[in-house]
């Protein structure tokens, strides 16, 4: 982060001052991933249950959904690969995360003042990221088998048997992660959703939720706990 | 409403009930293939193409009497051929007419996600409705007999219909009509089973085939195509006929327990998050304490 990240104004209203949390490119990439995931979710759920098959009609009908689902899978893969390059170092799980993990009950009860300070991403966000990352690897491998399922010879049919089960199971896990992610960032934690659109958060937000990162990015020295 | 609708007992990817469920107004039909009297003439293959309107196209020769290695999207009926050397050194030429088995418990239909792309009629015929097919290929995964075949240009899957169009107007399937040796029979399931057992008994008692028997696998609830085999203990000899065909375990897990666990987890998760919000409310930012201002503001 450069000094541009911190807008200069009087120290008196520092709570209102904003800090860049996500760059323009990070935000574009996030929404590319989000929209491709939502497309995959809609079409995937249509294939998952007869009671949700109508979802296919929403995006142009069953055959269209079947045709585009794998391609959107590739779009999501590109987006997540870029995310991996951008955030890999921020997502490394550290000793501080282990302390934070023990305080998850306080986090659930919104008693955030009891939590140890965290960097740019907290342990929950890291788990989300790695869950989606490893989930995607499995979805991609099983997805290729399902994409060209007819091309697989009869002697390799076990790969089809494995793929249908892996693809559905892992998709369910990523859907769970996705629901939690949407709830936390768009509903629960005020200021998060806007930060992924305009890229900025207030200093108070950063201080409250990502204190170590706040001190890093503002260049202030972090008081002893 | 057409009469045909009340004859549907299963519909793939279908939310809700099925019009013909519980009705028992039709005989179950059955094709009986007596492999012991098949001469491999392939008249049935030609009749199938003729009736269903497919041209004979170039094929793959694999050094046997077989027309091609396996059935194709536009070639639903194939005589599988095997040269089998018996324990006493004698040779047998095994011919088996391969086509859709029209399972009572069809794996293709269980796996299919598209509403009414696969239907099962009360007479036992399992039929693909290509207009509703989305081309996902799950039926290929669900079938234990390697029958559904994908046509890339149309992205639809095709297979033997048991001549549903002929049977529904009281005719026998085209293959049956063409068979010159009488090794193919068509009738009710009960009649065909009886005929098959009579022939198997004859083979065991008169013709010296001690292991002769009828192939009507119970793993898929029985089939509406049944075989008489000289050696019912080794059906694999007959062009890879599976000994105990089942809907694959992974397909059953996927369409059974996983579906309910997944649906409960998704609904439970959404309800849980709503309750969490109502109980604990939003996370709000807190003001930075004033003494924090005293920190040196080092520019990075």
Q: What pTM was estimated for this model as a whole?
A: 0.91
Q: Is the pLDDT score of A17 beyond 80?
A: yes
Question: What pLDDT does B60 receive?
Answer: 87
Q: In B, residues 76-135, which contact A (CB 8 Å cutoff)?
A: 111, 113-115, 132-135
Nearest to B288 among A1, A176, A207 (CB): A207
Mean pLDDT per block of 10 residues along chain B (300 residues) reads 71 90 79 97 96 91 90 96 93 96 98 97 95 97 98 97 93 96 96 98 96 98 98 96 97 97 97 97 90 52
- Neighbouring residues of A102: CB distance < 8 A, sequence distance ≥ 6: none
Give per-residue pLDDT as tens, A67-98: 999 999 999 999 999 999 999 999 999 988 99
A156–chain B nearest CA distance, Å:
11
Please answer whether residues A51 and B267 qualify as being in contact, where contact means their C-beta atoms are separated by less than 8 angstroms.
no
Q: How many CB atoms are closer than 10 A to CB B249?
A: 10
Confidence at residue B63, expressed as pLDDT on a 0 to 100 scale: 85
Smallest CA-to-CA distance from B33 within B170, B240, B229, B246 is with B229
The alpha carbon of residue B152 is apart from the nearest alpha carbon of chain A, in Å, by: 9
Closest CA relative to residue A147, chosen from A59, A49, A81, A74: A74
Q: Percentage of chain A with pLDDT > 70? A: 93
Residue in A66, A190, A219 nearest the CB of B283: A190
Q: What is the pLDDT of residues B231-263, one digit of tens each?
A: 999 999 999 999 999 999 999 999 999 999 999
**Partner A contacted by B260 (CB < 8 A):** no
Distance from the A83 Cα atom to the nearest Cα atom in chain B, whole angstroms: 25
**CATH H-level superfamily of A20-218:** Transmembrane di-heme cytochromes, Chain C (1.20.950.20)
Taking contacts as CB-CB distances below 8 angstroms, the residues of chain A near B144 are none
A1 closest CB neighbour out of B111, B114, B300: B300
Contact B169, B152 (CB under 8 A): no
Given this model, what pLDDT does residue B144 score?
98
Residues constituting chain B: 300
Nearest in space to A147 (alpha carbons), one of B36, B127, B136, B190: B136
DSSP states along A156-178? GHHHHHHHHHHHHHHHHHHHHHH
CA distance B148 to chain A (A): 9
Task: Decide which of A219 and B225 is more confident.
Answer: B225
- Chain B positions in Cβ-Cβ contact with residue A202 (cut-off 8 Å): 285
Q: Is B109 helix (H, G, I), strand (E, B) or coil?
A: helix
Q: What stretches of A88-202 show up as alpha helix (H) in DSSP?
A: 95-102, 104-108, 123-147, 157-182, 192-195
Q: Tell if the CB–CB gap between A217 and B149 is shorter than 8 Å.
A: no
pLDDT value, residue A3: 46
Residue B208: is it exposed, middle or buried by C-beta count within 10 angstroms (0-12/13-18/19+)? exposed
Tokens 């009869």 belong to which residue? A154
Domain ranges of chain A: 20-218
Query: Any bridge partners for residue B271, and if so which?
Result: none
């Amino acid at each position: 982060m450069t000094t541009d990240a911190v807008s200069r104004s009087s120290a008196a209203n520092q709570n209102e001052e904003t800090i860049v949390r996500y760059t323009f490119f990070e935000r574009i990439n996030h929404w590319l991933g989000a929209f491709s995931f939502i497309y995959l979710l809609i079409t995937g759920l249509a294939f998952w249950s007869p009671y949700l098959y109508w979802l296919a009609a929403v995006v142009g009908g069953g055959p269209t959904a079947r045709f585009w689902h794998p391609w959107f899978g590739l779009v999501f893969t590109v987006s997540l690969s870029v995310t991996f390059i951008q955030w890999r170092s921020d997502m490394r799980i550290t000793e501080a995360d282990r302390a934070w993990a023990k305080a998850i009950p306080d986090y659930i009860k919104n008693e955030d003042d009891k939590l140890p300070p965290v960097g740019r991403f907290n342990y929950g966000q890291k788990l989300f990221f790695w869950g989606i990352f490893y989930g995607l690897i499995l979805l991609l491998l099983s997805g290729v088998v399902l994409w060209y399922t007819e091309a697989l010879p009869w002697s390799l049919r076990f790969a089809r048997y494995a793929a249908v089960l892996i693809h559905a199971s892992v998709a369910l896990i990523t859907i769970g992660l996705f629901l939690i992610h949407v709830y936390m960032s768009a509903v629960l934690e005020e200021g998060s959703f806007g930060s992924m659109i305009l890229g900025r958060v207030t200093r108070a937000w950063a201080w409250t939720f990502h204190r170590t990162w706040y001190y890093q990015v503002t260049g202030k020295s972090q008081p002893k706990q | 409403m057409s009469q045909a609708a009340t004859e549907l007992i299963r519909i793939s990817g279908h939310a809700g009930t099925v019009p013909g469920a519980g009705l028992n107004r039709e005989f179950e039909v059955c094709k009986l293939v007596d492999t012991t009297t098949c001469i491999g003439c392939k008249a049935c293959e030609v009749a199938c193409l003729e009736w269903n309107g497919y041209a004979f196209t170039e094929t793959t020769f694999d050094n046997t009497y077989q027309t091609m290695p396996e059935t194709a999207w536009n070639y639903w009926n194939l005589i599988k051929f095997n040269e089998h050397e018996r324990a006493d050194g004698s040779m047998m030429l095994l011919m088996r007419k391969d086509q859709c088995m029209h399972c009572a418990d069809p794996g293709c239909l269980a796996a299919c996600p598209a509403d009414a792309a696969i239907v099962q009629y009360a007479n036992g015929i399992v039929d693909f409705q290509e207009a509703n097919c989305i081309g996902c290929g799950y039926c290929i995964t669900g079938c234990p007999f390697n029958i559904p075949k994908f046509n890339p240009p149309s992205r639809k899957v095709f297979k033997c219909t048991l001549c549903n169009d002929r049977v529904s107007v009281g005719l026998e399937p085209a293959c049956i009509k063409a068979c010159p040796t009488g090794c193919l029979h068509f009738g009710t399931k009960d009649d065909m089973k009886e005929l098959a057992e009579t022939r198997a008994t004859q083979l065991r008692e008169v013709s010296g085939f001690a292991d002769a028997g009828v192939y009507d696998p119970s793993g898929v609830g029985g089939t509406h195509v049944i075989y008489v085999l000289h050696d019912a203990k080794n059906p694999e000899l007959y062009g890879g006929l599976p000994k105990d065909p089942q809907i694959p375990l992974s397909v059953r897990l996927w369409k059974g327990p996983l579906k309910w666990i997944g649906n409960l987890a998704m609904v439970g998760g959404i309800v849980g998050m709503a309750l969490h919000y109502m109980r604990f409310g939003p996370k709000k930012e807190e003001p930075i304490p004033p003494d924090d201002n005293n920190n040196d503001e080092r520019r990075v």
